[in-house]
Chains A and B, each alone.
Chain A
Amino acid sequence: MLILKLGWKNIWRNPIRSAVVIGAVLVGTWAGIFIMAFSTGMTKQYIKNQLDTYVGHIQIHNPRYLQENLPQYDISQPDSLILQLKKNAFVTKIAAHSKVQGLAMSSANTFGVSITGIDTTEEKKISTIYQDINEGDYLTSDVRNPVIIGQELADKLDLRLHSKLVLNFQDIHNDISAGAFRVVGIFSTNNSSFDEKNVFVQKKDLDRLLDRQGLVDELVLRVDNIKQAPAYAKELQKEYPNLKIQSWGDIAPELRYADISMDYTMYIFMGVLILALTLGIINTMLMAVMERTKELGMLMAVGMNRLRVFSMILVETFYLIFVAVPIGLLLAWGTVAITAHTGIDLSAFAKGLAAYGLSTVIHPELGTIYYLNISIMMGIAAILAAIYPAWKALNLKPVEAIRKL
């Protein structure tokens, strides 16, 4: 008890030293957590943007469709399947596509593309491409056989708004089928290779050319929680063993890579930061012990036993760290909560971000589990940082310590 009191008083005896240690730990905790939240928020938004634009959360195909890429390998009885899927609470939106690989031909050039037939009102629920239309409209115009194409493809094929585009592909009987389409819109998402390889037409137009109305090759689902999508996909896979059900990580592995590698590098960085903090504290406390050589020598000379000296220094370091860590955590939590709400606007100095598919307004976010992990890591660091200087204090020899200069 006496030791606790003594330690507490010692802290206030040299406020500058205490302020430096508390400041380092506080800023380290605060800034470290904030950076993690910032990066996590940025990555999550990037992934979400990409999923919202073209991947969706879960995709369902006939397994043969994925192998052979032919429209006749469709999903049988799609309407009843959609009704059943909608009974799952986690499924929020569903859109059905007919889809075929073909050639896009203009007077200038020919290019291989993937042609997707969509229902515009349904599609708006699962894809934000309608927001990425640079010129023209989103298949809403009343011309016959409208098509929207990506900016990249428009450049390659030398197409403009209202140009004619011939799409050439095999129908469900493997016969060659072709249709003349009119470009009514040009979109530009943040994925240029997607823009180069995809065109969208009205589902009824494509179904007619493929020779089966109501053909469904692909179902795209949105679910309530992106992180849970793989688990949901597994669940659905069990229910429908005859279909191939994939979550976004399997469809777009580069996004899963972005997600996972972010976690990894953040933990390594936090490790480096905590190492820097721990060693910084050890250094400061070691210096403090040296500065107080005389004082500690005196205490030992008047009969304070070694265990008590050890505990006193230990207690002092603990006080400093355990004042700083909770305040740092609280500040970090507060900053994250506020900025998550208001967003951090980087648009002034980050024009390139938008082109890469990153939002210019970042909403930091961090799961509770991270706070917990960081607290545990800081706790372990605190113990290590406290023991070494205290142990060093034990090795002082009272007589030498009292001697001046």
Chain B
Amino acid sequence: MFFLKLAWRNIWRNKRRTLITTFSIVLAVVLSSFTRSMQLGTYDQMIQNSAGMYTGYLQVHQKGYWDKPTLDHSFASSDSLLNKIAAVDHVTNVVPRLQSYALAAGQKRSRAAMIIGFDPLAELSLSNPKKYLVSGSYVTSDTSRSVLVTEGLANYLNLAVGDSLVLLGQGYHGMSAADVYPIQGIVKYGIQEMNQAMVFLPIGEAQYFFGTHQRLTAAAITLDDAHAVNDVQKEIKSKLDGPFEVMTWRQLMPELVQAIEADSGSGMIILLVLYIVVGFGIMGTILMMTAERQYELGVMVSIGTSRFRLGSMLLLELILLALLGIILGCLGSLPLVWYFHLNPIHFTGDAAAAMRQYGMEPVLPFSTDPTIILGQAMIILGLTTIVSFYPMWHAHKLNPIKAMRG
């Protein structure tokens, strides 16, 4: 207790020394949080780009649909079912879909296209065709007899708004499905794959076209917190009885998970290098701090302070400083990360053009997940504690006569 008091007083005895040491720790926390937030923010952007653009963070299907995605694996939907899902915590929207392939034809040409039976209102929260309309207008009713097509398909079939689109395919349980719809709007997505051959057909009409009645192939789910996805999955699983499969974006998009994992490896190496450099910085200040206090330590040893206690006092001082440093570091990182989250670094020139063409916002986003900062703070605390054993070792070996001569 006495040494705790002494350590506390020592800290305030030389404010400049304390300031410099604390600053080196604060800096370590801020820089590693900055780097990690940038790395994880990029992943969030990739996930948002895929899950938030089309797939959703979760999907509910009939069991077996994902392995064999056909209409025969659709499930009977009802308002009560969808409401049950929507009532789960963190779920912001439930987007019903009935999806299959059919031949889309214009006057001269035809092409296999993905037909998406969609709810015009719910879909606004996910693939949002309204936002990407390049001509025509948005469909408002889910039973309206008109379609939206992607620009890639419209160009290929040589069709414009107002022209007729013939759809020819296979419906539920092998029924034949054929109909003609006027094109009400043309949409263009940045992601090329989404821009190829897609037809948005209002869901009521799609159910009629494919002869599925009230059935859906998938209910895509958006969340207000991407990190809650596993909890939500469990919750939905427990609430639904019947042969359903509830899949997260990790299961729906394994390539994306792989891409992130591959990149995460090099991200960790980068952080490791940063730790080495900030570790050296902290080491340097602590080393100099010990050297500066030679005389004082010499006196204490001479008047009979045990070396172990002296060493413990120094360690205690540094741990107090480290705690102070990481608390200030966390407080400093938070506004910094938030600033860059709200005002992300913008790519310019070629890079920006390349990213837009790829369908991504040309910015470098930052993640504001507070656990990142806490995690980095813990690592820096560990790092500082290891380095802090140096003064203890120094006190153990100190020669008081030499020390006081200086």
Give the segment of A178-186, A263-271, A311-319 that binds chain B: A263-271
Judging by beta carbons under 8 Å apart, are A284 and B281 in contact? yes
Given the interface contacts A27-B277, A276-B31, does A260 sit within 8 Å of B112 by beta carbon?
no
Given the interface contacts A27-B280, A269-B270, does A290 sit within 8 Å of B292 by beta carbon?
yes
Chain B hits for A6, CB < 8 A: none
- Top-6 shortest CB links A-B: A280-B281, A287-B288, A284-B284, A24-B280, A112-B112, A291-B292
Judging by beta carbons under 8 Å apart, are A280 and B24 in contact? yes
Chain B residue nearest in CB terms to A36: B270
Chain A hits for B295, CB < 8 A: 404-405
Judging by beta carbons under 8 Å apart, are A290 and B351 in contact? no
Judging by beta carbons under 8 Å apart, are B284 and A280 in contact? yes
In this complex, the interface size class of chain B, counting residues with CB under 8 Å from chain A, is 35 or more
Report the tally of A-B residue pairs with Cβ distances under 8 A: 170
A-B contact pairs, 8 of them (CB 8 A): A21-B284, A68-B158, A260-B354, A261-B355, A273-B273, A273-B277, A284-B284, A353-B262
- A32 contacts the other chain (CB 8 A): yes
Chain B hits for A7, CB < 8 A: none
* Candidates A42, A275, A287, A291; contact of B266 at CB < 8 Å: A42
Give the segment of B83-91, B171-179, B357-365, B368-376 that binds chain A: B357-365
Judging by beta carbons under 8 Å apart, are A112 and B357 in contact? no
Q: Shortest CB–CB separation between residue A265 and chain B, in angstroms?
A: 7
Interface string of B306-325 (1 = CB under 8 A from A): 00000000000000000000
Q: Shortest CB–CB separation between residue A340 and chain B, in angstroms?
A: 17
Chain A hits for B273, CB < 8 A: 28, 31-32, 35, 273
Given the interface contacts A17-B287, A253-B357, A276-B31, does A350 sit within 8 Å of B265 by beta carbon?
yes
Interface string of A187-200 (1 = CB under 8 A from B): 00000110000000
Chain A residue nearest in CB terms to B350: A260
- A235 contacts the other chain (CB 8 A): no
Given the interface contacts A272-B31, A404-B295, does A287 sit within 8 Å of B17 by beta carbon?
yes
Given the interface contacts A24-B284, A356-B255, does A14 sit within 8 Å of B291 by beta carbon?
yes
Chain A hits for B23, CB < 8 A: 279, 283
Chain B hits for A35, CB < 8 A: 266, 269-270, 273
Given the interface contacts A31-B273, A35-B269, A257-B360, does A16 sit within 8 Å of B287 by beta carbon?
yes
* Candidates A27, A284, A353; contact of B288 at CB < 8 Å: A284
Q: How far is the CA of A388 from the CA of B223 in the complex (A)?
A: 50
Chain B hits for A275, CB < 8 A: 31
Q: Shortest CB–CB separation between residue B194 and chain A, in angstroms?
A: 12
Given the interface contacts A279-B27, A283-B284, does A111 sit within 8 Å of B112 by beta carbon?
yes
Judging by beta carbons under 8 Å apart, are A355 and B258 in contact? yes
Counting chain B CB atoms within 10 Å of each CB, the highest count among A32, A193, A263, A290 belongs to A290
Judging by beta carbons under 8 Å apart, are B262 and A110 in contact? no
* Candidates A69, A260, A265, A290; contact of B16 at CB < 8 Å: A290
Count of chain A residues near B, Cβ 8 A:
64
Chain A hits for B38, CB < 8 A: 265, 268
Chain A hits for B266, CB < 8 A: 35, 38-39, 42
Contacts from A to B (Cβ < 8 Å): 14, 16-17, 20-21, 23-24, 27-28, 31-32, 35, 38-39, 42, 67-70, 101, 103, 110-112, 170, 174, 192-193, 249, 253-254, 256-257, 259-261, 263-265, 268-269, 272-273, 275-277, 279-281, 283-284, 286-288, 290-291, 350, 352-353, 355-356, 358, 404-405
Judging by beta carbons under 8 Å apart, are A257 and B296 in contact? no
Judging by beta carbons under 8 Å apart, are A112 and B277 in contact? no
- B278 contacts the other chain (CB 8 A): yes
Chain A residue nearest in CB terms to B359: A253
Judging by beta carbons under 8 Å apart, are A24 and B277 in contact? yes
Please give 9 more A-B residue pairs, beta carbons under 8 A apart, in addition to A68-B155, A192-B255. Answer: A14-B291, A24-B283, A70-B109, A283-B20, A283-B21, A283-B23, A283-B284, A353-B262, A405-B295
Q: How far is the CA of A268 from the CA of B262 in the complex (A)?
A: 20
Q: How far is the CA of A260 from the CA of B350 in the complex (A)?
A: 8
Q: How far is the CA of A39 from the CA of B262 in the complex (A)?
A: 11
Q: How far is the CA of A23 from the CA of B292 in the complex (A)?
A: 21
Chain B hits for A264, CB < 8 A: 347, 351, 364
- B259 contacts the other chain (CB 8 A): yes
Q: How far is the CA of A286 from the CA of B292 in the complex (A)?
A: 11
Judging by beta carbons under 8 Å apart, are A405 and B281 in contact? no
